[in-house]
Amino acid sequence: MAIEIQNLNVHIKDNHILKNINLTLPEKQITCIIGPSGCGKSTLLRTLNRLIDSTEGVRLEGKVLVDGADIIGSGAEITELRRRIGLVSQRPCPLPMSIFDNVAYGCRINKMYKRHKALIYAVQKNLKAVGLWEEVRGRVRTPAARLSIGQQQRLCLARSLAVEPQYILADEATSALDPISSKTVEDLFVSLKNDYTIIMVTHTLRQALRIADNVVFMYLGEIVESGPAEQVFHNPQQELTQKYLSGAFS
Amino acid sequence: MIRKRIVKDKLAHGVMLAMTLLSIVFVVVMAVGLYVKSAPVLENRSLWSLISSSQWKPMKGEFGFLPFIVGSLWVTFLAILISFPISLLTAVYLTEYARPVVRKFVFPALDILAALPSVIYGVWGMLVIVPWISDKVARHFVDFSSGYTVLAAGIVLGVMVIPLLVSLFIEVFSSVPAELREASLSLGATRWQTAKKVVLRKTLAGMLAATVLAISRAMGETIAVLMVCGCVIGIPSNILEPCYPIPALIANNYGEMLSMPLYESALMFAALILFVVVLVFNLLSRIILYRIERSEA
């Protein structure tokens, strides 16, 4: 199993945000984390790549085993961990540089290629993987900010893929996009799951229904129910899950 | 009731517009005033001879501003050379690395430094920097130096400018969205790589604007510089010689000029030079800012 979370508790100042989380995230599948706003979905995601560290007053307890190694302890190599766990955030966030340099950024930072030709090939490959190459070829040296929002989000995905991660975290990655771009990005995630383990936070139940292999339902910092998507959506075991899925609260 | 609110809104709009225009008018009035007062010396001497001559003999009606212009540029250049890297690294540390508790202590300390009257910096310069240059530094390079030098003025001015520049840089760096930093960190970048390749790059235009503001401030600083620069008329050939920047010239001589023809006008012309130099710096920075923003958009 790829990621195993054991008794994880996250405190931010005096607030107990994540309470005793125990969860296994299966390899090369899409796991969707659902739940109402403020239930701790994004905190859980940000704990997995330790971006939570930049939050003031944060305290982590428990274990998060990524390929068997605990990433919570002080000995964890955070930069390497983050390279292995890519992140696509809610709003597309192109770096202040060209389209090419955006995709090449992580490769350069991690000194992945010695030859410039290999870097060019990697950039092309990843732009093709997200279906952006045909749209931007001939203008890859122009600022990334000139792309449409949907294109920018695909660029951010290409940028994450370029550092050859094993996992992709997506934090409501389609919520800022128009329906067409949203569908494109969603289809991309489905096509990527053969090679990557994808953990996706989403507010849209229909999206989770369409693409999830597994679903985790969270409420007030706790996991209420988790399991195969089919089971959670069609035969939920917990009353709270039933109420949430029926739209009693959101 | 609704009418009353709309009238109040229009009134507020009008008052604020008037205040905005007033602040612009101040600058224009100042420029015109300086020009009118400088007119007599400009009528007697060509502009080129005034700014390119080194002869300063007010008794004989000779007004060459070159030593003062060079003195101002030397001191300002040195001050920015000293303050820029210190301020930049301090601001990067405070925004990218420091824990909130450190910021909580450092920010008020910077505010205190910024609020210190310039005469205190001048006294510190006279008591510490001038003897240090005279006794420790200068003897390695020249036979004798009083310590009252371009270097002393540059150091004092540089230290004075640091709190301003740090505050401006912090403001500029804080404008970078957290998501942008996280985008870089999530690719495996260290905080230093993120600061260097993302934060500094994103804020290039803002940093330039901040630096120009600091240059303008340094260029016009009077008292602290006057106390340590030596106030000797002449073009300094190195930083261990004294100098005489324009603000010091005006402050030292304004009271005495009434008995000499054209002297008042010459000093007003010195102020006009200062005004124009600061204006040109700001205009240049605006043009560069505009170009940077256009290339990034």
What are the tens digits of pLDDT across the range B262-280? 888 999 999 999 999 989 8
Looking at residue B282, what DSSP letter applies?
H
pLDDT at B257: 63
| pLDDT attached to residue B7 | 93
Report the distance separating Cα B13 and Cα A146, nearest Å: 36
Cβ A217 vs Cβ A201: under 8 Å: no
CA distance A216 to chain B (A): 23
Q: Which two tokens stand for residue A213?
A: 């292999």
Q: How many CB atoms lie within 10 A of CB A6?
A: 15
Contacts of B175 (CB under 8 A, 6+ apart): B203, B206
Per the CB < 8 A criterion, the answer to whether A107 and A83 are in contact is no
- Asked if residue A89 is part of any domain, the answer here is yes
pLDDT at B285: 85
Instruction: Inform me whether the pLDDT recorded for B207 exceeds 60.
Output: yes
Residue B72 pLDDT level (bands cut at 50, 70, 90): very high
Cα atoms found within 13 Å of the Cα of residue A212, Cβ hemisphere only: 29
Q: How many domains does one find in chain A?
A: 1
pLDDT in tens, B11-29: 999 999 999 999 999 999 9
* B178-204 average pLDDT score: 93
| pLDDT at residue B81 is higher than 80 | yes
DSSP B79-104: HHHHHHHHHHHHHHIIIII--HHHHH
Report helix angle B204-220 to B66-92, nearest 10: 140
Please report the pLDDT score of residue B258 as a whole number.
65
- For residue B96, pLDDT beyond 70: yes
Q: Are strands B56-57 and B62-63 parallel, antiparallel or unpaired?
A: antiparallel
CATH code of A192's domain: 3.40.50.300
Decide if A83 is inside a domain.
Answer: yes
Q: Give the residue numbers in B contacting A (CB under 8 Å), as ranges.
A: 100, 177-190, 193, 197-198, 201-202, 295-297
Q: Which residues contact A76 (CB under 8 A, 6 or more apart)?
A: A50, A69, A70
What is the mean pLDDT, run by run of 10 residues, along chain A of 250 residues? Answer: 89 94 93 93 93 90 91 83 91 93 95 93 93 92 92 92 92 86 87 91 90 94 94 92 87
Position A5 scores a pLDDT of: 94
pLDDT score at A197: 93
pLDDT value of position A180: 84
Residue B176 Cα, gap to closest chain A Cα (Å):
11
- A-to-B residue pairs, Cβ atoms closer than 8 angstroms: 73
When scoring A46, A56, A109 by the number of chain B Cβ atoms within 10 A, the one with the most, hence best to mutate, is: A109
Region B226-231 average pLDDT: 92
* Distances, alpha carbon A26 to alpha carbons A66, A139, A194, in Å: 11, 39, 12
Q: Which strands make up the sheet holding A222-228, listed edge to edge?
A: A85-88, A167-171, A197-201, A30-34, A214-219, A222-228
Residue A197 to residue A189: CA distance in whole angstroms: 10
Write the single-letter amino acid at B14. Answer: G
Q: How far apart are CA B171 and CA B164, in angstroms?
A: 11
Minimum-distance CB partner of A87 among B181, B186, B197: B186
pLDDT of the residue at B82: 96
Q: Do A79 and B188 touch (CB under 8 A)?
A: yes
Is the pLDDT at B228 greater than 90? The verdict is yes
Within A19-62, residue ranges assigned H as helices are 41-48
Radius of gyration of chain A (CA): 18
Interface of A with B (CB under 8 A): 49, 51, 54, 56, 79-80, 82-83, 85-87, 89, 91, 93, 95-97, 105-106, 109-110, 143, 145-146, 156, 159-160, 163
Pick the residue of A95, A110, A160, A199 with the most B CBs within 10 A to test the interface with B by mutation. A95
| Residue with token string 């420790």 | B136
pTM of the model: 0.86
How many angstroms separate the CA atoms of B263 and B57, rounded? Answer: 10
Domain membership flag for residue A250: no
| Alpha carbon distance B44, B190 (integer Å) | 63
Residue A30 lies in a domain: yes
Domain that holds residue A200: 3-245
Q: Is the pLDDT of residue B200 over 80?
A: yes
- Largest alpha-carbon pair distance within chain A? 57
Query: Which of A129-143, B32-46, B282-296 is predicted with the least confidence, judged by mean pLDDT?
Result: B282-296
Q: What is the pLDDT of residue B297?
A: 63
Residue A218: name the closest of A52, A47, A36 by CA: A36
Which residue, A36, A25, A87, is CA-closest to A202?
A: A36
Average confidence score pLDDT of chain B: 91
Instruction: Give the phi and the psi of residue A177 in degrees, each rounded to 5.
Output: -100, 160
3-state secondary structure of B265: helix
